[in-house]
Every structure is written in C-alpha cells, then in structure tokens.
Amino acid sequence: MRSYKELAIKMLFTVLAFSSLVFLAGIVFVLFKESIPAISEINLFDFLFGKYWYPTFEPAEFGVLPLILASLEVAVGALFVCVPLGIGSALYVNELASASQKQILKPLIETLASIPSIIYGFFGMLIVAPFIQKLFNIPTGLCAFSASVVLGVMAIPTVASISEDALSFVPNSFKEASYSLGANRWQTLTKVVIPAAASGISTSVILGMSRIVGETMTVLMVSGGAAVIPKSFFDPVRPMTATIAAEMGEAAVGSAHYHCLFAIGLILFLITLVFNALAEAISRKYRIKLGLDR
C-alpha cells in the first residue's frame, strides 16, 4: 500500500514540476496566436520597418520601427550608467572592501534591487526629469536621456551582483601568481582578475540589458511617450514596453491595434529570450573554463 502512495506522490510532483514549462509554452502560444492576425493584415515588413505608429488615426498606421529604435536608444543610454557603476561597485566589493564593509555593502546593493520599478518611475518623474530639463535647458525633461539614467540605476544591482559572483569564482591562485611576479593590486585586477572573470561580467551586462529592455513602468513614466523615430537623446520617445502599457487599455479587443500590441509583446519576448540564451551559453562556457562544472 505504501509504495502506491509513494508512487502517487512522485507522480504528483512530476506533473506539478512541469508548470513553468506549461506557462512558458502558454506565453509563447498566446503571443503568437494574438499576433498572427496583425501580421497577416499588415504584412511583416511594413509592421517591422514602418516608420509611423498612428494606431488611432484613420487610416491607422502600425509601424513599430520608432518603438524598437526608442527601446534601443534608451537601453544603450542606460548601459553607459549601469556598466561602469555596476562593474565598478562589484570590483570594489570583491577586491577592496574589508569583510565588515562587504557585510554592509552587499545587502545595500540588494536593497536597490528590491525597490519596485514604480518607485523608480516616480523618482525619475519628480527629480531626474526636472533636473535634466534645467541642466540641458530643453523643453521637457521627460525624454530618452532621463529614462536612460533611471533605467541605468535600476540595472546596477543586476550587473553588480552577477559580476560580483563571477569575480568571487576567480581562484585565489591566479592573484597569488600575479603578486609573486611583482604586479601590484591594480595591475593584478586589470590584467588577471578581470580577464579571468570576463565572461561572467559580460553575462551580467547581457542580463542587465535584458532587464532594461523589458522594464515597463519607469519608461512609461519618464520617457515622454512620443511615438516618433528618435533623433536625439533629448527627444521624448516611446519604447515598446511603454506602448503596450499605455495603449492596451484603450485598444478594443480583437482590433488591429490590439493584435499589434501583442505582436510588440512577441518582439519583446523574443529579444529577452535571445539575451537569456546568450547569457546562459556564455556562463556555461565560463564555468568549464575555470574548472567549475555545475
């Protein structure tokens, strides 16, 4: 009798274990199913490379190029903030901080990660945007530049904590060998430690990028919302996530607009999927390189 019970429990766990696979498959299915009407109606080329996003005009135009470019612009800008600050913080925590400093700094960086994105958006809208507007004397502070700054700050913990992991995996023998050759700590850091952790650090940047591209509330509140092809960093823009969040409420279910928003969701999903696969591939290679397989 007991073995039947054991078997039943094992079966139950096996079935439940597939839940995340089911949800992921469900997301893929839903995104494709709801996007296909849009793509068949508009044709893929006009959709992807159309320069105008006028969903409520008559006749409506659904070209997502301005939205894709806006996402790209904001993400690239954010990298300039989160890469130096994130990696710099990780290097400080891992190489320079004393044990007691580490004990304080690591939780603080984690705290930065636990702040909800709506709070970042709120902060960006009330502080960063007016500051940028005054600093550069531009008509509105709600622009790609402000969004980049706020998104960059948001992504610091992602970059920092994954980089820090990578740095902590570098064997001590590497450093000792470098010191014994007469290199000082900075030379050891830049010539030995960073190259050894390079793939882990690049993983952190890719995952940070993935988080930035998928971030919604911050860009919705800070980026300005103009769906035109961005010409400079100081123009208001409307990235893909902000478009979905802002327009889904007013799009009639089943309309071309509704399906187009799902198609944008599909593009976003595919982008983050590629980023994650890339990060996974790099980190696997890296573990093998340092002789840590898991």
152 — alpha (psi -120 to 50), left (phi > 0) or beta?
alpha
Helices (H), the chain: 2-17, 19-42, 44-49, 65-91, 99-114, 117-123, 129-136, 144-168, 172-180, 185-188, 194-214, 217-222, 240-247, 256-289
Q: Which 190-229 positions form the footprint of other proteins (CB under 8 A)?
A: 190, 207, 210, 213-217, 220-221
- Candidate residues 40, 44, 45, 96; the one interacting with other proteins per rule CB under 8 A: 96
Pick the closest to residue 283 from 197, 184, 223 (CA basis): 197
d(C-alpha 183, C-alpha 194), whole Å? 14
- Candidate residues 36, 72, 76, 85; the one interacting with other proteins per rule CB under 8 A: 85
Query: Of 163 and 199, which has the nearer Cβ to other proteins?
Result: 163
- Candidate residues 1, 4, 19, 293; the one interacting with other proteins per rule CB under 8 A: 19
Q: Based on the shown chain and the rule CB under 8 A, indicate whether residue 153 belongs to the binding site for other proteins.
A: yes
Q: Based on the shown chain and the rule CB under 8 A, indicate whether residue 111 belongs to the binding site for other proteins.
A: yes
Q: What is the DSSP letter of 18?
A: T
Q: How far is the CB of 55 from other proteins (least distance, A)?
A: 16
Q: How far is the CB of 43 from other proteins (least distance, A)?
A: 22
- Candidate residues 56, 59, 99, 116; the one interacting with other proteins per rule CB under 8 A: 116
d(C-alpha 214, C-alpha 252), whole Å? 24
Crossing angle (nearest 10°) for helices 240-247 and 256-289: 140
Q: Based on the shown chain and the rule CB under 8 A, indicate whether residue 233 belongs to the binding site for other proteins.
A: no
Q: Based on the shown chain and the rule CB under 8 A, indicate whether residue 31 belongs to the binding site for other proteins.
A: yes
Q: Based on the shown chain and the rule CB under 8 A, indicate whether residue 286 belongs to the binding site for other proteins.
A: no
Q: Based on the shown chain and the rule CB under 8 A, indicate whether residue 37 belongs to the binding site for other proteins.
A: no
Crossing angle (nearest 10°) for helices 65-91 and 144-168: 40
- Candidate residues 1, 14, 137, 172; the one interacting with other proteins per rule CB under 8 A: 14
